Amino acid sequence: MKSIGLLKSKIVVVPLGEVDFMLVNRLATDLGPVFNRSVDILKGMKMPSEAHNVVRNQYYCMVILSKLERLKANSREKVLAVCEEDLYLPEENNVLGYADMLSGTAVISLYEIRQEFYGLPEDDSKIYPRLFKEATHRIAHLFDIADCRNPKCVNYFSQMMPDIDNKTEKFCDICKRQLVGSV
């Protein structure tokens, strides 16, 4: 009998542009057990220049996602890119990241996650947990799990940094049950 693990879709983590590879590598390692599937980390991809909006001096999430989609080895793979650039969607000033369930692709930026964004001294102990929680939240979305209303759940819809800092790194029981059913 085949192991169920073989049927599960892979997660692919992509360091996008000039980004701290150690941080992304650590993230890729930690995501595997969370979603109980294998995680590949790619060597890296250049930030697509077409994504750059000169007027806003920001990068458009949707252009990035369309590039990520081309990296997929099969339609079921989930691709997450991590970058340092300031990201936007047309209806928002700036976003921490974006996940598109249909294409199975997501991007997150460390831009707002870093303390410098708030004029505060850099604090490494804060950066990784924020990145991990955001990545977990976005990937859960790729597996068709909607935002959670439990403020302690890692899948809680958190746009403000205090909300992200305040939630735990774990899924609540409801999200956990949904996750078990996902392939």
Comparison of 83 and 175: residue with beta carbon closer to Zn ion: 175
Which range in 4-12, 27-35, 121-129, 168-176 contacts Zn ion by CB under 5 A?
Answer: 168-176
- CB burial class (10 A; 0-12, 13-18, 19+) of residue 66? middle
**CA-CA distances (angstroms) from residue 151 to 30, 64, 70, 167?**
22, 29, 35, 6
Task: Report how many residues bind Zn ion under the rule CB under 5 A.
Answer: 6
Q: Judged by CB under 5 A, does residue 9 bind Zn ion?
A: no
Q: Judged by CB under 5 A, does residue 158 bind Zn ion?
A: no
Spell out where 97-174 has E strands: 97-100, 105-109
Q: Judged by CB under 5 A, does residue 140 bind Zn ion?
A: no
In angstroms, give the least distance from the CB of 75 to Zn ion: 27
* d(C-alpha 117, C-alpha 121), whole Å: 9
Q: Which of 65, 95, 148, 164 binds Zn ion (CB under 5 A)?
A: 148
Comparison of 60 and 171: residue with beta carbon closer to Zn ion: 171
Comparison of 12 and 153: residue with beta carbon closer to Zn ion: 153
Q: Which of 155, 158, 164, 167 binds Zn ion (CB under 5 A)?
A: 155
* d(C-alpha 175, C-alpha 123), whole Å: 30
Comparison of 107 and 148: residue with beta carbon closer to Zn ion: 148
Q: Judged by CB under 5 A, does residue 153 bind Zn ion?
A: yes
* d(C-alpha 127, C-alpha 113), whole Å: 6
* d(C-alpha 170, C-alpha 96), whole Å: 20
CB 85 within 8 A of CB 109: yes
* Interface with Zn ion (CB under 5 A): 148, 150, 153, 155, 172, 175
